[in-house]
Chains A and B, each alone.
Chain A
Amino acid sequence: MATPTGAEGGTTPPGGADSADTDAGTFYECNICLDTARDPVVSMCGHLFCWPCLHQWLETRPQKQMCPVCKAGIGKDKVIPVYGRGSNNQQDPREKLPPRPAGQRSEPENQGGGFPGFGFGDGGFHMSFGIGAFPFGIFASTFNFNDGRPGPAPPGSPQNREEQFLSKVFLWVAILFIFYLLIA
């Protein structure tokens, strides 16, 4: 009943469509078309797709770009093309639209410093960090015990009093803010 389709003859693995259901065959299948990935790209979360398939999915929901498999953030510039040996033997890449994003070469000394995993979903990450850091920054300056850092002005000076007043104001703002978050 599964009629063999010869349309993509050049990319069908040896053995034909029937052997594609073995474990070895499904491993390199695109998670969208369930066929051997053509113009493969891999997401930061490690999921494999044909670039045309993934591109169409990103176009389908431009405002909600998630990995179809694990729902991690995903995007045009957050996938890595995969080049197998002899991939040039495949169909003329110019016929394929849209063009697959190019691979990026980073300099060796940059390696180890970055956390590429934090690259996606950065909007949410930064926002929550900012909100979290605000009250704690205030606490830090309010309960500033003498830890040797060049910090507060000498006790009793007008500047010190002003600082203490300001930090108390900010402390209350922070407490109100937390309270607001709790009841909101």
Chain B
Amino acid sequence: MASMEKRLQKELLALTKDPPAGVKVDSQRICTNLSEWTVDLEGAPESIYEGEKFQLMFKFGSRYPFESPQVMFIGEHIPVHPHVYSNGHICLSILTYDWSPALSAQSVCLSVVSMLSSCKEKKRPPDNAFYVKTCSKNPKKTRWWYHVLLNKVERNSVNMYEEERPCDMK
């Protein structure tokens, strides 16, 4: 779809020109295939991930921006975080239920960065071992059951773009 390509080009331009702190995107590399991006993230200074480097992969399907992009950490270094599984899958409501076409790759980057920066303790989600064994390759196919519940609670109390709670229900 032509309008999707146009939007992705605009998003890429905006992210290259004005990236959030700690985000770097190599637009030359992406240009060959606009529907798959690799974004470099760096742990924010004074956060527990300071100095660590991560890679985030974006896959934009043909129904983007009406459907959320597929976003996950890739590479050797996956951040140890209560919302990030060791296979790179991220539990973040805007990547599934709370996606809106007014969001963008840039706002996803911002959410991931703030998710990392606000974390106080490095640990995996409590169900990591089970999830990694049983999940689909595409994190969008996961039905984040308890996460949905959690997101509903969050929607009533705090800004839902900044999740700070771990994934388990307590």
Contacts and interface: CB of A to CB of B under 8 A. Distances in A.
Given A1-B28, A56-B66, A32 B9 contact: no
A60 B31 CA distance: 28
A34 B10 contact: yes
13 contacts: A1-B28, A5-B6, A7-B2, A21-B10, A21-B17, A32-B101, A33-B65, A34-B7, A34-B10, A57-B66, A60-B63, A60-B66, A68-B102
Interface of B: 2-3, 5-7, 9-14, 17, 27-28, 31, 63, 65-67, 100-104
B102 A69 contact: yes
Given A7-B2, A21-B14, A57-B66, A35 B7 contact: yes
Given A31-B101, A69-B102, 8 more contacts: A1-B13, A2-B10, A3-B9, A7-B2, A21-B17, A32-B65, A33-B6, A71-B100
Given A1-B27, A1-B31, A56-B66, A32 B13 contact: no
A169 B13 CA distance: 68
Dominant secondary structure of chain B at its interface with chain A:
helix
A57 B27 contact: no
A13 B5 CA distance: 18
Contacts of B27: 1
Contacts of A57: 66, 101
B3 A2 contact: no
A35 B66 CA distance: 15
B69 to A, nearest CB: 14
Interface in A54-74: 56-57, 60, 66, 68-69, 71
B6 A32 contact: no
B14 A35 contact: no
Nearest to B100: A68
